[in-house]
A and B are shown apart, each in its own frame.
Chain A
Amino acid sequence: MSTENEFFVIKAKENGVNVIGLTRGTDTRFHHSEKLDKGEVMIAQFTEHTSAVKVRGKAVIQTRHGEIATDKD
């Protein structure tokens, strides 16, 4: 499966949303974080360094699988 050009979008719905990138490989660490304030948008890809992403705070995330809001069940 090619992951090339695949990206996802995160839009912050409050100040101080954190997007945290986790390392690819045998040990999983946080190698990077990003702070988004309300209304800010981040467009990101999974890369050779990042295999997972954690989002904290109220945000809407769009992927090719659909849209998900962190504040809704």
Chain B
Amino acid sequence: MIIATDDLEITCPTCKGERVIKDNKCDSCSGKGVILTSQGQTLLHFMKRHLEK
């Protein structure tokens, strides 16, 4: 199974991934520029859980 980047996160449609709008942090994505998918969240939580050990 191959996981593509856009399976894990998508570019924020409000700031188009710029993280800021008119020098202010983008409210829609909290300045991250991306929004995670459930597959992204699953992988992130798995990695966090096992890296901490």
* A and B from one complex: yes
Measuring CB to CB, which residues of chain A are less than 8 angstroms from any residue of chain B?
16, 18, 20, 27-35, 54, 56
Interface members, chain B 27-53 (any A CB < 8 Å): 27-30, 35-38, 41
A16 to B9, CA, bound (A): 12
Apart from the given pairs A29-B28, A33-B35, 13 other A-B contacts in the complex at a CB distance below 8 Å: A18-B13, A28-B28, A29-B30, A30-B13, A30-B14, A30-B29, A31-B35, A32-B35, A32-B37, A33-B10, A33-B36, A34-B38, A35-B37
A18 to B7, CA, bound (A): 10
Q: Is the interface of B mostly helix, strand, loop or mixed?
A: mixed
Chain B min CB distance to A8 (Å): 17
Measuring CB to CB, which residues of chain B are less than 8 angstroms from any residue of chain A?
6-7, 9-10, 12-14, 27-30, 35-38, 41
Closest B residue, CB atoms, query A15: B6
Chain A min CB distance to B8 (Å): 9
Tell which of B12, B13, B27, B37 touches A34, judged by Cβ atoms closer than 8 Å: B37
Closest B residue, CB atoms, query A54: B13
Q: What residues of chain B lie closer than 8 Å to A29, measured between beta carbons?
A: 27-30
